[in-house]
Structure 1
Amino acid sequence: MKIKTSLLIIAALLIGANLHAQEQKPPFLKYQNSQWVDSIMENLTPNERIAQLIMVAAYSNRGPEHKQEILKSIREQKIGGLIFFQGDARTQANLMNDYQLVSEVPLLGAIDAEWGLGMRLDNTISYPFQMALGAIQNDSLIYELGQEVARQIKRSGLHLNFAPVVDVNNNPDNPVINFRSFGENKENVSQKGIAYMQGMQDANLLTTAKHFPGHGDTDTDSHYALPQINHAFNRLDSLEMHPFKKLIDAGIGGVMVAHLDIPALDSTGVPSTLSKPIITGILKDRLGFEGLIVTDAMNMKGVTEGNEPGIVDKDAILAGNDLLEFTEDVPKAIAEIRKAINQGLITQAEIDKRVRKLLAVKQWVGLDQYEPTPLKNIDEEISTLEAEWLNRKLVEASLTVLKNDQNIMPVKELQDVKIASVSFGAKKETVFQESLSLYTDVKHFQVGLDAKTSELKKIFEELKAFDLIIAGIHDDSRFPRNTMKFSNSVQNLMGEIFEEPNSIVAYFKNPYSLNKLKGVENAAGLILTYQDNKITQELAAQLIFGGVGANGKLPVSVGKKFKSGEGLEVEGGLRLKYTSPEDAGMNSEILNGGIDSLMQQAMDMKAIPGGQILVARKGKVVFHKAYGLHDYSDTVKVKKTDLYDLASVTKISSALPAIMKLADEGKFDLDAGIDTYLPFFRNSNKAGVPFREILAHQARFKPWIAYWKNTLRKNGSYRWNTFKKDSSARYPVKVSENLWLHRRYQKKMFRAIKKSELEEEAKYKYSGLAFYLLPTIVEEITGEDFRSYINENFYDKLGATTLTYNPSEEFNSASIVPTEHDYFFRHKPIKGMVHDEGAVMMGGISANAGLFSTANDLAKLMQMYLNMGEYAGVRYIEEDTFKEWTKTQFPENDNHRGLGFDKPYLEYKGESSNTAKDASKASFGHTGFTGIMAWMDPEEDLLYLFLSNRVLPTRGNTRLYSLNTRTNIQQVLYDAIEE
């Protein structure tokens, strides 16, 4: 009865054979009767022809015994190919070279690389799983992935990828396909599968669509048992087989057949791999597929259960397969297939036809002109920086926002929000949390899978003090399983957070598992990343603060909570994006190699003990790195979160933005003098000198005054009304731990500035005197405390929380980089207090010097400058104002300076210039005495920050200048620009 039913099914399928006309043929078919194929066929014995249809498993992480087994199969059985599993690329390529050397016919090399070589090989790139790719709206990215995966596989010595998976995953409990599928929408699966396939095949790598006729609606893993699919033929034909039809039409080279029991297609109960009605009747005859038909692995329980090795391989050939993958007993398989030929179950001509097909594949992939795979630089050439950048692009494009109530993302007004983050499933601070901290101050908590109730209660109480709670829900596996291992207590805490009106959830797990998390749909913001790794965590954090945007669409339904196709668009490019150089049109190799070598040279020459470098282009941070040590004599490594003394970069980072803002408001006049805002200066030689000349360093002011020297008697002791060892109401100004300055001494400093003589000639001469006065001028105009004013109007809004004066008041000493060993004034090493003597006598708060910062936080202010006064949708300074202040003011007087800002010399002076030769005339910035450089070039939309403490151990160390490290690194940036 079963046989009769199967025959009826075959007849029905044959009647419908012409319903599906193939539009494109597999690319290798033209070689089936080529001269090369003919020559190979002439020299193959009947058994060797059978052996060409067999592919055995090879590993590059096993010992010599395994290699000898493979060599034996090649020499004695003359197998046609190898499928490689675990190992590494170099060893794999080397082994393949050895195997090819002993094979009379070139071997076809295959691998399962659904998400790239990282699926199988160590130290190679794992691209996003197909479910994440299913969320991407730009299929050209999927094509680009196909091209890149093909390049990497070919570089590793192989020719065939058992991918893409085009199963429509419409069963959330599917244990074997699941995240390996593009999703539940058959059209989306088809489109993504075609793009991926075409990318690979256009790069001359053969592909196979799998697992025919569709493995998506199973709840059994065919590695361990035979799944059964009980749908009617019409459903299978219209849904499960739909992507296969589309890929066949598009010219896919191969199809892999699954191990499935599908009564509607074959009532005999045999696995589909062994089913002639399915393979020959449907795939070949009805769908018209002429390409390579491959079995799923022949060692899987789904096909081996109840079937003997060799016999099962013979049955697979009889069913219509062309290539047997992972044959366990090669001699027996050849013998059984030979027996079948002798018995008339299959003809030698049919075997020969399949062998020709396989040889045609070998010719198409270039094996007719085989050359060994070169091993030199193989690892570097596989995992290139460009390949890594593609990975980031794919992850970014897959980000899916399912909730964004009240446009909670991107978070806008940082100054008004107290933020906490909780990483669930983490024992230490996560990459996600570190990335959140790039944007503003965030208090971080971690909660384990089964954290104690007492711990959870304590955290929840602390969270009540915050305005915004960001929850990162992490996976405990590199694969996003559809599981929820968090204890009920932990899930209850999650639920409490979800109910908060200002809560954002970044979900780093399988989307299906959202259905198992009670209340997650109540969160104001919900981001889905599909998997948990460094890149997904970085980009999810950037999405929350507007560094990147999102337009991914959910590829599967999540119970009744979310439907396939849902996904909200969120604006990106609001704040700095942290990415790769290629994303901003720069060459990683030039940038990384050039900066690293110059920094190493500076450290080797003891020009600096270490430093931080940050480079951004087009609003994208493309290089951010810490180098060396805090001090030559210690072992504390510089971190990107360490604070440096900015020295004179303070000039453009503190009072300058304040007075630009006040100028916009009509409260500050560039043509007015100091005496307009500080009447104390009315009866001085500086009265009426316009600020335009002062800020351009053309006001005839003296360069500096050694204020601290005026505190000394001839015998070296301090005058009675200057310093004391202990603080008091009269001596409140801290200069060091045992040195406190009189409260009125600032007035003496102002008096010294007022009485200082003017230079004879009105020409460019750098002076910091007026910058001691600017904070007081800001206070006089605004009626506010200077530090509060710049914090509220600039630093807090920017999220620049480490851009501050007197950092030792609020930061751990371990995170502050020391400066000079001061043995002539403070008589101790300087750390956590401003290096500049005049600034420290101002209580550390001056516009001449005094600011500290990390490179990252300084970059936010400088990026606002580069944007001509705007950042994160907030206008800080009017564009016209900014253009005026960053313009050279008195070029006719051989003065290259802007207003407060330094500018390139009017003529480039080689090594003695203040900028790189390629810096544009529109560029601007400043340098600092401690070894700082901040420079912006609007023509290239380029930001460059160099932070160091070159004054260690003494300011007499000028090697940084003689090496010209800062401007040489700046030139590297221009060299790296590819556009």
Structure 2
Amino acid sequence: MQKNTILLLAVLAVNFFYAQQVKPLISENHLEQRKWVDSIYNTLTLEQKIGQLFMVDVFSSASSAEINSLKNKIKKFHIGGVIFSKGTAKQQIQLTNEFQQLAQVPLLIGMDAEWGLSMRLDETFSFPYNMTLGAITNNNTVFEVGQQIAQHSKRLGVHVNFAPVVDINTNPKNPIIGNRSFGEDRNQVTQKALALIKGFQAEGVLANAKHFPGHGDTDQDSHKTLPSLDFNVKRLDSVELYPYKKLFKQGLSSVMVAHLNVPKLTEQEGLPTSLSSKVVDSLLINQLQFSGLIFTDALNMKGASEFGDKGIVELKAFLAGNDVLLIPNNLEAAIKQIKNAYNNGTITKSRLTHSVKKILYAKYKVGLNNYQPVSLKNLASDLNTDKNKATRFKAFKEAITLVKNDLNSIPIAETQHSKIAYIKLGDAENNKFIETLSNYAEINSFSIENPNLLEELKFADQVIISHHKSDENPWKSYSLTTSEIKLLDAISREHKLVFVNFTSPYALLDLNSFLPIEVILQAYQNADDAQQVAAEIIFGATKAQGRLPVSITNAFPVGTGYQNSTLGRMGYDYPQNLGFNTAKLAEVDSLLTEVIEQKMSPGVQVIIAKNGHIFYDKSLGFHTYENKIPVKSTDVYDLASLTKILSTLPLFMRLVEEGKVSIHDNLSNLLPELDTTNKANITVKRMLSHYAGLQAWIPFYASTLDSLDNYYRKMPSKKFSIPVTENLYLREDYQDSIYAEIASSELLEEVEYKYSDLPFYFLKQFIERSYKDSIHTIIQNDFYKTMHIKNMFFYPKRHKTLSEITPTENDQIWRKQLVHGNVHDQGAAMLGGVGGHAGLFGNARSVAQFMQMYLNEGTFGGRTYFKPSTIQAFNTCYYCDKDVRRGLGFDKPQLDDVGPTCGCVSMTSFGHSGFTGTYTWADPSTGILYVFLSNRIHPDASNRKLIDEDIRTKIQQVIYDSLDI
């Protein structure tokens, strides 16, 4: 026995002592399995037995001639399996069914689906690469990825997935492994591989660890040559073989043996490991005690194909101990060589029986004892589910790695006054990244081709640069160009720089110096999910969670990864990732469809979020029943009474917090002119609780109907300057009459709960006097702009075209026209479009952002707007014992069976509804935020279908029913 073999045995002795005997091909009903295997085996001729050893390849997109050739091989040579490659899922299923029908023994169908079917098939689902998964610390997510890849594989009739790659990629220059590896740390590679394997095998698909004994530390491609690993046995055992030893104890189904030159194992220079009995038989089978299926790597690869005449390579591979000979160079010659070897005694009967029966055991385990043709029904939807999308998104969210964050430069908090420049590097798309960045700040984009770029960047306080390369496959070039590196260096020396790399982490090795770059965010791939999450991390809508799976120089060793703080801004996620049952949640779609079909409203916008993550964001229907302008997410609606809690109330809350007013003050303290009225001693607390005896509303416009010429003009003038709607201007002095009428209005005979708009007329007066400015200016400057709320404002026509504003009522009583781009509420209209109770327009996302600030207890985007105690003071039901459910300005859940909610929300929840068909509700106990916008009063305010059917709260009920608490 030679020295190397003795050393290898010594190294493995301890491992063998602890080895766990696992029989990965044995089913639970092993007696039935053995019975089936024996019954099939006993019917096979020698030729049929030999045929079982071979798995041949085919493109599902192959020509008819190629397909017919394979069909002939199935019938003539009785091959045991087929490995599919390029084409479509439909083509593959059709061919699988045809091939299986021809086979006497059902075929074992294999496929390379390392990151899903998209590795080989067009228009199929792509999961993240192993390198991306290697950055995830939560192995349950990796398991879910494996499980879903297996579900897709099984759906196509695939029984063995030639994955995962368990090569430890310690060589950044490796041309064939790279992104296909989980990384360079043996423990992490093993853990991730085990999670993926368990996911595969939980679904009944055989996993396949490759490329034994380890293809990670080489800079050559075995498709083109025979790569060499010139390491000693101790190194090979501690690094390359480490994952295999661990995985064998966990029931790994199969292994693929690579074509590598490893002389310390083969004891023969230039002999491929796949053809070496010392590697396959002695090491893999006897020393490591592996009893699963052993596949060769493709025998038509240059690393093996040139090692002998026709059929000799296949014979040597079988003699070395392999069970399945993958993609033979010459099938007929190989079968002939093996048959001759059997007949002359070189291959024994027991040797052939051993491999053939293992193959049959595997076929039973994957269900081929009860083979059924694969159905094409619902194929596309089965291979592209919302669950798949949710899992992929979660994987990217958990993988993206904050490699460097000097001085906690991200998240970027200040967006109102910061001047942010953006530059794209690379030649792939960046649309999702720039779109998501724009949700949080104004982004000024610059081209790398701009000759004056450095000069024009002088305005910028912050520069974001992202690097995008093709995500088509893991072998695509990921390197930065020389000019890009120089630009990064120059900009980083003059500006605060956030650099996001949407390619392999090895691209970072091209950077000459990391020191000037404050932030490096490693996103691994150029997928839309990665782009969205990266942008959310930069602005603090989510946290970076990943850890580097490989070292990037000594500065950033494997495992590097920081967590950024979050700033309470809103991001996106999938309901599955937030604990929702999507089958139940689908009823929301049904209810919204009912709204449109039953003409409860021409269109709607709905957003639902949990813990700051929007998981439902839909715009349905049209602006009007003419169905000409579809509703877009950026279109704005008349928010009606939502104005109260989104504009007037927060401004008043701030005055309370600043000590300029108290909720215990009387109205006469706020507005001295009320001192002689019946409103003088009403407290703010009672007024905002709607427990002050005030009338619900006053139709101020009604008293002008008998003398329109006295109050209105079609053209503005100094005297008639208040715009009510198109071509209708009110006398300027009439606003005084409005406030006088409110002041002199009668109180209810008995104080009881009565919802009223009148308190917000008073608050508007007080706020504007206190700030010496209009509430529309104050709320924009102090709240909306600082929160980067882009689509919420008074005077919508100053911000949007009419095609972006949904119309409300066709008012034939007073305004004699369709109200479009002007506030519907008559009182707010007579105040020129800005009321304390109405006048605000917005889209669902903008409403959600403001409500999220309340849920965050007064903070948003790193800025504090209110103390939690202030939010609590206004979100309190002070008169519940008087059957008054309201907080101060906020609506609260009902105290009996009738009220504004589904009855399923917590008593800490709050919100409001609006006459035009709007609604928003937030629940601190669950983190759920819900926004429903519609123009149900178009074209007629008498349309009460939305209210009568209680659609808004039915949707709320569905949301809570869908939450798996």
State how 1:509-528 maps to structure 2 within 5 Å. 509-517=503-511, 522-528=516-522
| Aligned-partner SS, 1:472 | strand
State how 1:570-969 maps to structure 2 within 5 Å. 570-572=564-566, 574-591=568-585, 593-633=586-626, 635-710=628-703, 714=707, 716-719=708-711, 723=713, 725-726=715-716, 733-736=722-725, 738-782=727-771, 786-811=775-800, 814-822=803-811, 825-826=814-815, 828-871=817-860, 875-909=864-898, 914-969=900-955
1:283 equivalent in structure 2: 284
CA distance in 2 between partners of 1:833 and 1:418 (Å): 33
CA distance in 2 between partners of 1:562 and 1:75 (Å): 57
- Going from structure 1 to structure 2, the CA distance change for 1:746 and 1:517 (only over 3 Å counts) comes to farther
| Aligned-partner SS, 1:694 | helix
State how 1:140-179 maps to structure 2 within 5 Å. 140-179=140-179
2:286 matches 1:298: no
- Going from structure 1 to structure 2, the CA distance change for 1:853 and 1:481 (only over 3 Å counts) comes to farther
CA distance in 2 between partners of 1:544 and 1:268 (Å): 52
- Going from structure 1 to structure 2, the CA distance change for 1:807 and 1:517 (only over 3 Å counts) comes to farther
Structure 1, 829-838 or 653-662: larger mean CA deviation: 829-838
| Kept after mapping to 1: 8 A contact 2:416/2:441 | no
Give TM-score scaled by structure 2 length: 0.92
CA distance in 2 between partners of 1:56 and 1:718 (Å): 92
2:212 matches 1:212: yes
Query: How many Å apart are 1:486 and its aligned residue?
Result: 6.4
| Aligned-partner SS, 1:927 | strand
- Spell out, residue by residue over 1:143-163, the C-alpha distance to the aligned partner (whole angstroms, 9 max, x if none): 333333333323332221211
CA distance in 1 between partners of 2:808 and 2:344 (Å): 90
- Spell out, residue by residue over 1:507-536, the C-alpha distance to the aligned partner (whole angstroms, 9 max, x if none): 111111122245565322221110011111
- Going from structure 1 to structure 2, the CA distance change for 1:815 and 1:526 (only over 3 Å counts) comes to farther
Query: How many Å apart are 1:295 and its aligned residue?
Result: 1.0
2:493 matches 1:499: yes
Query: How many Å apart are 1:120 and its aligned residue?
Result: 2.8
| Kept after mapping to 1: 8 A contact 2:621/2:627 | no
CA distance in 2 between partners of 1:976 and 1:898 (Å): 28
CA distance in 2 between partners of 1:87 and 1:230 (Å): 38
| Aligned-partner SS, 1:240 | coil
| Aligned-partner SS, 1:767 | coil
Query: How many Å apart are 1:404 and its aligned residue?
Result: 1.0
| Kept after mapping to 2: 8 A contact 1:480/1:530 | no
The one-letter amino acid of 2:540's match is G
1:3 equivalent in structure 2: none
Structure 1, 310-319 or 651-660: larger mean CA deviation: 310-319
CA distance in 2 between partners of 1:685 and 1:924 (Å): 30
| Kept after mapping to 1: 8 A contact 2:480/2:510 | no
CA distance in 2 between partners of 1:594 and 1:868 (Å): 31
Query: How many Å apart are 1:68 and its aligned residue?
Result: 3.7
- Spell out, residue by residue over 1:33-88, the C-alpha distance to the aligned partner (whole angstroms, 9 max, x if none): 92222222211111211111111224444465555444333332221112222344
Structure 1, 265-274 or 653-662: larger mean CA deviation: 265-274
CA distance in 2 between partners of 1:157 and 1:830 (Å): 59
2:22 equivalent in structure 1: 25
Query: How many Å apart are 1:934 and its aligned residue?
Result: 0.6
Name the Cα RMSD after superposition: 3.1
| Kept after mapping to 2: 8 A contact 1:144/1:199 | yes
For these two proteins, the number of residue pairs brought into alignment is: 959
Consecutive unaligned residues in structure 1, runs of 5 or more = 1-5
CA distance in 1 between partners of 2:62 and 2:735 (Å): 75
The one-letter amino acid of 2:919's match is M
State how 1:208-357 maps to structure 2 within 5 Å. 208-266=208-266, 267-305=268-306, 307-357=308-358
Structure 1, 816-825 or 601-610: larger mean CA deviation: 816-825
| Aligned-partner SS, 2:957 | helix
Give TM-score scaled by structure 1 length: 0.91
The one-letter amino acid of 2:213's match is P
Query: How many Å apart are 1:931 and its aligned residue?
Result: 1.5
| Kept after mapping to 2: 8 A contact 1:48/1:78 | yes
| Kept after mapping to 1: 8 A contact 2:400/2:546 | yes
- Going from structure 1 to structure 2, the CA distance change for 1:152 and 1:901 (only over 3 Å counts) comes to same
Query: How many Å apart are 1:372 and its aligned residue?
Result: 4.1
- Spell out, residue by residue over 1:386-414, the C-alpha distance to the aligned partner (whole angstroms, 9 max, x if none): 33322222211111001111112222344
CA distance in 2 between partners of 1:466 and 1:16 (Å): 60
CA distance in 1 between partners of 2:284 and 2:396 (Å): 34
The one-letter amino acid of 2:613's match is K
Query: How many Å apart are 1:679 and its aligned residue?
Result: 1.3
- Spell out, residue by residue over 1:433-477, the C-alpha distance to the aligned partner (whole angstroms, 9 max, x if none): 222233x33225264xxx5334xx3x6555443433332321234
Query: How many Å apart are 1:585 and its aligned residue?
Result: 1.6
Query: How many Å apart are 1:848 and its aligned residue?
Result: 0.8
- Going from structure 1 to structure 2, the CA distance change for 1:893 and 1:184 (only over 3 Å counts) comes to closer
CA distance in 2 between partners of 1:425 and 1:961 (Å): 53
- Going from structure 1 to structure 2, the CA distance change for 1:204 and 1:977 (only over 3 Å counts) comes to same
Match of 1:551 among 545, 562, 567: 545
Match of 1:971 among 930, 949, 957: 957
Query: How many Å apart are 1:930 and its aligned residue?
Result: 1.8
CA distance in 1 between partners of 2:93 and 2:815 (Å): 64
State how 1:397-436 maps to structure 2 within 5 Å. 397-425=398-426, 430-436=431-437
| Kept after mapping to 1: 8 A contact 2:437/2:443 | no
The one-letter amino acid of 1:301's match is K
- Going from structure 1 to structure 2, the CA distance change for 1:631 and 1:64 (only over 3 Å counts) comes to farther
Query: How many Å apart are 1:646 and its aligned residue?
Result: 0.9
Query: How many Å apart are 1:614 and its aligned residue?
Result: 0.5
Q: Percent of aligned pairs with the same residue?
A: 39
CA distance in 1 between partners of 2:362 and 2:2 (Å): 32
| Aligned-partner SS, 1:622 | strand
